[in-house]
Amino acid sequence: MSNNIPLIVDLDHTLIDTDLLYESSMAVLKKSPWLIPLYLFWFTKGKGYLKEQLVKRYSIDAQTLPYIQDTINYIIERKKQGSPIILATASHKDYAFEVVKHFQTRKNNETIVNNKQNLDLFAEKTEILKSKLANNSLFDDVMASNADFNLSSHNKAQKLIERFGKKQFDYMGDHMRDLPVWEASNLSILVNVSDKVVKRTQHLNTLILSRKN
């Protein structure tokens, strides 16, 4: 069975069972508590700016993140069907890049490095999706936040519609903030969701992958 519709995958609490903004905030402030007043200032300048400051002070180890196996299994099945797989996350682009590299085979590292510019451009160009070079990677492309733009909720929905068109992509997410994205998607795939999210998405074409305990 062939399925060419792109699968868009969220990161926090969808691909991984944690939140990188929370993890990086706690790590930075625990190490340097005197930064708390500055942290509040960063926050007033927007989440994109805040994440940019945190990523300068805290590096993630993508190998040790708590990945959600149900999500990975679903991605693998869609990959086999021919769907382009795009990681689209509100997390900072540097963190997103580390996660994508974790799922690269060593043989294919050069391919993703050569396409690193897509992280800043929100992948307005789609040539990589037509390429056979990314077949050794779980992900074909990345869309993520930077200092000037927080790729979340309505912002994420807008960027995905601009790139793929309304109802021309499937989206995996976990939270009510994903509702604008689900409403723009062809298939709303719910991961690690609460009963509230299930209820609020009943009007959509949904696939419930997993629920919160």
| Domains of the chain by start residue, with CATH | 7-17+66-208 (3.40.50.1000), 20-55 (no CATH)
pLDDT at 61: 92
Q: pTM of the entire structure?
A: 0.84
CA–CA separation, 135 and 185 (whole Å): 24
Both tokens of 73, joined, read: 């299994």
pLDDT at 134: 45
Divide the 213 residues of the chain into consecutive groups of 10 and give the mean pLDDT of each group. 85 95 90 89 90 92 93 94 94 93 61 44 42 64 92 95 96 96 97 94 95 82
pLDDT at 1: 54
CA–CA separation, 22 and 89 (whole Å): 14
Write down the residue that tokens 């999706």 correspond to: 129
pLDDT at 121: 43
pLDDT at 44: 92
Q: Cα dihedral sign for 179, 141, 139, 2?
A: positive
Q: Is 149 helix (H, G, I), strand (E, B) or coil?
A: strand
pLDDT at 104: 82
